[in-house]
Amino acid sequence: MITCFIRYEIDPFRKDAFAAYARNWGQVIPRCGADLIGYFGPHEGSATTAYGVYNIESLAAYEAYRARLAADPLGRENYDFSRRERFILREDRIFLKNVSLPHAPAVTP
């Protein structure tokens, strides 16, 4: 299992548009085969940084998932929405593997 972290730089005056975009992915991503952890928008601190995080089995599974996203009607609509409205200024994607598993059991006094 790998985790995809997407870091967005968003227009600070378009946070509502980003939130709508994130809600749409909340429907599409699980339907297309990834385990969505969530989309996170600015609250305190930076007004321009947001994240999307999901788990996927492998990079090969990711490629098939991306094809399903592109074919999904709401997925296509969401891509078009972000391009048309231009609230995403920058997007960076990184895949990480949880190297702390298995977690040690809690020690109770």
Instruction: Calculate what percentage of the chain has a pLDDT beyond 90.
Output: 86
Cα(first)–Cα(last) distance of the chain, in Å? Answer: 33
Q: Could you read off the pLDDT of 8-31 as tens digits, one per residue?
A: 999 999 999 999 999 999 999 999
> How confident is the prediction for the chain on average, in pLDDT?
94
69-95 pLDDT per residue, tens: 999 999 999 999 999 999 999 999 999
Instruction: Quote the crossing angle between the two packed helices 15-31 and 73-85, to the nearest 10°.
Output: 160
Cis before 102? omega within 30:
yes
Higher pLDDT, 105 or 9: 9
C-alpha closest to that of 32 among 3, 60, 67: 67
Q: What pTM does this model have?
A: 0.87
Over residues 55-70, the pLDDT tens digits come to: 999 999 999 999 999 9
Q: Kindly list the structural domains of the chain, giving each domain's residue range(s) and its CATH number in brackets, ordered by start.
A: 2-96 (3.30.70.100)
